[in-house]
Amino acid sequence: MSGSDQTLLAGRHALVVGDDEIGCGIAERLRRAGAGIETLPLSDPQALAAGIGAELDVLVLNVLPAAEAAPLATAAPAATEHALARVALAQRLMQACLPALRVRGGRILLIGHRYGEAINEGLAAYNCAAWALVGLMRTAAIEWGPQQITTNLVLPLADTTEFRAALSQRPRVLEQLIAQLPLGRVGCPLEDVGGAVAFLASDAAAFINGEIVYADGGQHVAGPVLNPCRFMARTGN
């Protein structure tokens, strides 16, 4: 799929919720593919539903919170509640968008766990929310599939400020992670993650439903996944 393709999503209307680097990269990639784009930040969750228009073909929900280091033995229940609240927010937005998505058979793309499907130690609340998102995605895939609405989950590995901060604090560990990737590099939020989302939003992916799709350069098949958040709290390299 060419990065300059202006026809892949021509005539489609897309809403991208979550305006971090990955969300912005996805929004720009969908725009480049011809979609009309609206982006909404997560800063005011109560106002999000008001931003949903009557015409909508693609809903991208990039709602997971940043991973915070907290082992299960000492993790505050409030931290888990906060993380799971983002999944509940995704559910509310999906429900609010359902009438519009029904019209032409829509696409829902959830953006999930930044470190793949692995459960990483020291990230109790984040792990809970990441896997709750899988359950939400697959429930929608089953229940809304008969209305020709597809729902999939994208697991990205992208070159973001968060990743670079981990790299600067623990360079040898993170360089080892990058070296073990089959493609030998971390993905670009625009071209790599955004490209995967654009494909899943297109007619070519109309029969892909209920899937976990990796946009991680093969990280999930390359061996043990290192946990950047675990090493950000440490000093040295």
The catalytically annotated residue of 115, 126, 163, 214 is 126
Q: What angle do CA 187, 91, 78 make, to 5 degrees?
A: 85
Active-site residue flag, 214: no
C-alpha 53/C-alpha 74 separation (Å) is: 43
C-alpha 66/C-alpha 30 separation (Å) is: 24
C-alpha 191/C-alpha 196 separation (Å) is: 8
One-letter identity of residue 208 = I
The Cβ of residue 117 has, within 10 Å, a number of other Cβ atoms equal to 15
Place of tokens 């909404």: 40
Name 99's Cβ contacts closer than 8 Å, sequence gap at least 6. Answer: none
C-alpha 144/C-alpha 158 separation (Å) is: 30
Q: Which residues are catalytic?
A: 126
